Structure 1
């Protein structure tokens, strides 16, 4: 079994409140869930208006499938016009049965 994760550090556009921040972040998380069947959540910078962290995780039996899903999810987030992707951290590991 392969386990992969990504953590995105995002700079949000013209956001002036935490309520506006959530209205930008929630659709991104929902789209990641829907398109890639990954676990996704807001994971950082909860108190900052213009910064956000989103983490995703995927589990699969095939290494290449995990890498493909992580790559596609990163492209999706990078292409969103309402956010700037500042950095991405990635992890990939194999379970030891």
Structure 2
């Protein structure tokens, strides 16, 4: 089972692409270190206060994938620098 999540984020305090990248890099590093997921910025590359991250995890059990992805969303939601606006799930 492959679990895929696409999340759109708002980064309110970013006043430059450099600030945006700093916030995203921090989030991506924490997600990769704590969870069994792959993470990439997939859209809105040239917009300061908006980002899209795609997260993928693989397991032989859908429940395990769901749990892992829910934990990643909890970490994202717990970061005061960003706000999650749209979340799309896909199961393969």
Answer yes or no: same fold by TM over 0.5.
Answer: yes
Name the one with the larger strand percent: 1
Q: How many residues align?
A: 92
CA distances 1:60-90 after superposition (whole Å, capped 9, x unpaired): 1111100101111111111110001111111
Verify: 1:30 aligned to 2:29, yes or no. Answer: yes
| TM score, norm. by length of structure 1 | 0.91
Task: Give, in whole Å, the separation in 2 of the partners of 1:73 and 1:37.
Answer: 9
- Report the aligned-residue RMSD: 0.8
Correspondence for 1:49: 48
Query: Which of these two proteins has the greater Rg computed from alpha carbons?
Result: 1
Gaps of at least 5 residues in structure 1 are: none
Gaps of at least 5 residues in structure 2 are: none
